[in-house]
Amino acid sequence: MKKVRKAVIPAAGFGTRFLPATKAMPKEMLPVVDKPTIQYIVEEAIESGIEEIIIITGKNKRSIEDHFDRSVELEVELEKKEKTELLRLVNSISDMVDIHYIRQKEAKGLGHAIYCARTFVGDEPFAVLLGDDIVHSDDEPALKQLIDCYDEKQATVLGVQTVAKEEVDKYGIIDGYEMSDRVYTVNDLVEKPDVDKAPSNQAILGRYVISPAIFDILAETEPGVGGEIQLTDALKELSKQEDMFAYDFKGKRYDVGNKLGFLQATVEMALRRDELKVDFLAYLKTIVDQERIDVE
């Protein structure tokens, strides 16, 4: 039985939706409360049992590498000032896991970004985590739920949740049926369908466990929606060759790739923090009351 040990995290996009913040800074480094979004993703991978990570980067992404590397000057400074708690925090980031980096030289789409990881992955099943989707889960991390499903099925598993009908054109959508609790068989997939043509409203939300057979398919996949090589198109082809499942994972997912989703994540993550929740909630209540007064 093959184990899922490796994860691919694409982080090569331009982040145009967050300009000007992302002019000189990668969108993956934007903080939700006090942690870059990509750290939430890396932590989820580690908590799911992943041993090695490759981050697909592009131009302007050096600060991601710096973030997961040691910062000797900072460590010395914190040590001098006896800030042991902060020192531990800073060290824990660089000690997290083995992270590798590869540059996607051209922005040819998600499918192409994943293809860049083929040598790193080799002939093993692997996980993909997309940085725009942060998932908070009080149970198992979202990826762990998919890996458990993979262990049982030994086949590709896509992480899905139900989205509003009018939102299906933002996602990869599956056509499948629920065969057991939360597990769907996937018969077909379509990337960003028109709202009236979608086969369902089960959307792929940034978590995958994929069979290595995808690489041969990606090598041949033509550009699809938006002129980009789409992972969904390659998965559609894979579903014709091998079994494929979708898992309706538990957890609250935030789309930090758009401003409203990013703000929602910030507010809710802050409300989960012991040192912030009481004061922050009190503050939010005053804001909300104020708004009511203004509207009346």
Q: Kindly list the residues in this chain that would bind ligand G1P in the complex (CB under 6 A).
A: 110, 130, 132-133, 171-172, 191, 203-206, 230-232, 257
Among residues 40 and 78, whose Cβ is nearest to ligand G1P? Answer: 40
CB 135, min distance to ligand G1P, A: 11
Measure Cα distances from 13 to 116, 191, 198, 260 in Å.
14, 18, 26, 19
Distance CA 84, CA 241 (A): 54
CB 108, min distance to ligand G1P, A: 13
Look up tokens 């300009």; give the residue. 19
Amino acid sitting at position 131: G
Distance CA 241, CA 205 (A): 23
Residue 129, both tokens:
């985590």
Among residues 13 and 36, whose Cβ is nearest to ligand G1P? Answer: 13
**DSSP letter (8 states) at residue 123:** S
Distance CA 264, CA 251 (A): 15
CB 30, min distance to ligand G1P, A: 16
User: Strand pairing of 52-57 and 98-103?
Assistant: parallel
Among residues 107 and 284, whose Cβ is nearest to ligand G1P? Answer: 107
Among residues 49 and 261, whose Cβ is nearest to ligand G1P? Answer: 261
Among residues 78 and 184, whose Cβ is nearest to ligand G1P? Answer: 184
Among residues 78 and 198, whose Cβ is nearest to ligand G1P? Answer: 198
Among residues 121 and 173, whose Cβ is nearest to ligand G1P? Answer: 173
CB 133, min distance to ligand G1P, A: 5
Look up tokens 């903080």; give the residue. 31
Distance CA 104, CA 123 (A): 21
- Helix (H/G/I), strand (E/B), else coil: 36: strand
Going by C-alpha positions, the residue among 152, 116, 104, 140 that lies closest to residue 4 is 152
CB 285, min distance to ligand G1P, A: 32
- What residue number has its CB nearest to ligand G1P? 172
CB 3, min distance to ligand G1P, A: 25
Q: What is the 3-state secondary structure (H, E, C) of 185-222?
A: EEEEEEECCCHHHCCCCEEEEEEEEECCCHHHHHHHCC
**Stretch (H or E) spanning 153:** helix 142-153
Among residues 36 and 206, whose Cβ is nearest to ligand G1P? Answer: 206
Distance CA 202, CA 254 (A): 16
